[in-house]
Amino acid sequence: MAAISSEDTTQAVRSEFLVFGAPDLQQTEVDEVVATLESGWIGMGPRCIRFEELFRQYIGCAHAVSLNSCTAGLELALDALGIGPGDEVITTPLTFCATANVVVHRGAKPVFADVDPVTGNIDPEQVRQALSPRTKAILPVHLYGRPCEMDPLLELAREHGLAIVDDAAHATEARYRGRKIGAIGDMSVFSFYVTKNMTTAEGGMLTTANAAWADAVRIKRLHGLSHDAWKRYSSEGFQPYDVLAAGYKFNMTDLQAALGIHQLARLEANLAVRENYWRIYDEGFSEMPEVQIPPQVPEELLESGSRHARHLYTLLVNSPTSPLTRWELVQALKAENIGTGVHFVALNLTTYYQQAFGYRRGDFPHAEYISDRTVSLPLSPALKEEDLRDVIRAVKKVLRPKLVAVP
């Protein structure tokens, strides 16, 4: 057999490991962090306030509250709604465990509703079927950055008097039919974890149009202390304070906000880079029957002003055309020095959710289909185009060994 490619199959495609989800950090961030350190005020303070205001303007909402994580924000959102024991919150099984864990922390039950088999987002019809007299809220996740079908969810919420708290961890830049994610749900929560579209190392932001909820979250993020208690050690002098609630320690710090201010400034430019990288991957994999590329956003949605935030580029490993299973592919790519991710293992397949709530394999076939096959490829704007070419070469090498075999 003649060689189709001159690929050397004995050597890894890359000599250096390609980290999945590398952050794009630049000199502006370094300078701002140094300036924060030199200011002497590194806890929650003026930079958090500035970051909140910039983020609020970017989303176009009434209130933005900075937090130490998205998880903390989801927790405080459910707390502000008074969700507790005996209540149910409907969410997707195809998400990071934090989305459902926060429901459990409130003593409430996470009720999963299966996803759309194409988009992986929660299916409004399945939500309808999961409703019960105990349902208090719907917690959709804009999976991989693709906005959920919000209109039918909003309609369900209106009909049944439910709140919508959306997990926007992937969706900072996303829009749905001309409206910004973060300005649609009752409360929306964003993540600035290291691998997300913008990062503060750890951090999150809750947005809402409701002043009372925003106030409740502001108070509970800092122990339940009365307003502006973060200023208590400032030059204004120590003020008398009160404890209004048994709060949490969920506040952001100025060191994190120093990163956030500049990450936000580059957010749109970095999205443009990821959009370009997305196209490169699509072209690279479109002819491979072994994998399925992410579904396009339908023209109708694009024309009505929807936007995918391009957080995670995921392939579905087709069986039986692919010689490797998904976990085998992850291992094979690691051997080629390519880091990948799996987003996500459906929660009904995990030990805790099976033992605590009796969920089983077979409960959510669409989520399980994706969960069994999905693999996320590096997409960070910190990468170079050559890095993406390496990823494409590596995927082809491990899935189509015959095509690169030497005679």
Q: How far is the CB of 142 from ligand PLP (least distance, A)?
A: 8
| Residues forming beta bridges with residue 176, ordered by sequence position | 179
Return the structure tokens found at 275. Answer: 């959009």
- The nearest distance, CB 70 to ligand PLP, in angstroms, is 3
- What is the contact surface with ligand PLP in residues (CB under 6 A)? 69-71, 95-96, 98-99, 141, 167, 169-170, 191, 193, 204
Please report how close the Cβ of residue 99 comes to ligand PLP at its closest, in angstroms.
5
Bond before 364 cis per omega within 30 degrees: no
**Shortest reach from residue 51's CB to ligand PLP, in Å:** 15
Helix (H) or strand (E) holding 5, with range, is none
Instruction: Give the nearer residue to ligand PLP in terms of CB position, either 99 or 256.
Output: 99
Task: Give the single-character DSSP code of 134.
Answer: T
Q: In sequence order, which residues have a C-beta less than 8 Å from that of residue 33 and are 6 or more positions away?
A: 255, 258, 259
Distance between CA atoms of residues 74 and 137, nearest Å: 12
**Is the Cβ of residue 197 or residue 306 nearer to ligand PLP in the bound state?**
197
**Residue number with CB closer to ligand PLP (185 or 284):** 185
Provide, rounded to whole angstroms, the least separation between the CB of residue 144 and ligand PLP: 9
Is 231 designated active site? Answer: no
Which spans in 81-139 are helix H? 97-105, 124-130
Measuring CA to CA, which residue among 269, 280, 308, 267 is closest to residue 377? 280
CA–CA gap between residue 79 and residue 314 (Å, rounded): 33
**Strand partners for 138:** 90, 164
Distances (CA, A) of 159 to 120, 121, 154, 271: 24, 21, 9, 36
CB of 203 to ligand PLP, least distance (A): 7
| SS (HEC) of 145-174 | HCCCCHHHHHHHHHHHCCEEEEECCCCCCC
- Active-site residue (options: 109, 136, 180, 196): 196
Rounded to whole angstroms, the Cα distance separating 336 from 401 reads 13
**Active-site residues: which are they?**
196
